[in-house]
Structure 1
Amino acid sequence: MKLHLTTAAAGLLLLTGIGAATAQDVIIQPEQETVIREYVHKQPLASVEVPGVKLSIGSVLPDTVELHEVPNVKYRYVVVDNRTVIVDPGTRKIVQVIE
């Protein structure tokens, strides 16, 4: 019984660590965020609606949503529901929502 409890506790700690690591995989540096904000301000886009997608980190945008480049930044952006959404173009996952 003691061995099972120890194994379960170790497994829980491992899963918690994995969850924390994946949540922090993508970190947009403040300089990059400033570049993105300035670019979006100068190149305004019409806001689009994406039914059924929650605007949160890790959500995936469908292929029907056009992503737009920011020069010298690896991420793309789109304006959804009047909020700027930063997206990893390889996975189409939202990495940041800028208010």
Structure 2
Amino acid sequence: MHLTAAAAGFLLLAGIGAAAADTVVIQPEQETVIREYVKKQPLASVKLPGVELNVGTALPDTVELREVPNVKYRYTVIDNRTVVVDPDTRTIIKVYD
């Protein structure tokens, strides 16, 4: 019983580590490029009732994502907040107020 609990605990911690490894970190130079581009290319804000603007939230396919030149990530404006999105997973990786 103790061995099983220890093994389960280890697997839980391993899962947490794997989830943390999936966290996207935007490099400072990319952050600068994104911020400057978004200022120069403003978008109209859209409303998404029921969608929380948190890191890790997946956006529906109906939300148009705009490219940022020379950066992998895309952006859109929801509820007057700019969000940076991973285009492969459509998950929010950064929210700017």
Q: What TM-score do the two structures reach when normalised by structure 1?
A: 0.87
Shift of 1:69: 1.0
SS at match of 1:39: helix
CA RMSD of aligned residues (A): 1.4
Q: 80, 86, 91: which is aligned to 1:82? A: 80
For residue 34 of structure 1, the aligned residue among 32, 35, 43 is 32
> Which amino acid in the other structure matches residue 45 of structure 1?
L
Listed one character per residue, the Cα deviations across residues 21-68 of structure 1 (whole Å, up to 9, x for unaligned) are: 22x2x1111111111111111111111111221111111111111111
Equivalent residue number for residue 49 of structure 1: 47
**C-alpha displacement at 1:84, in angstroms?**
0.7
The TM-score with structure 2 as length reference comes to 0.88
Q: Residues 1-99 of structure 1: matches in 2 within 5 Å?
A: 1-22=1-22, 24=23, 26-99=24-97
Task: Specify every segment of 5 or more residues in structure 1 that has no aligned partner in the other structure, as ranges.
Answer: none
Match of 1:44, SS state, is coil
| Identical columns (%) | 65
Letter in structure 1 aligned against 2:28? P
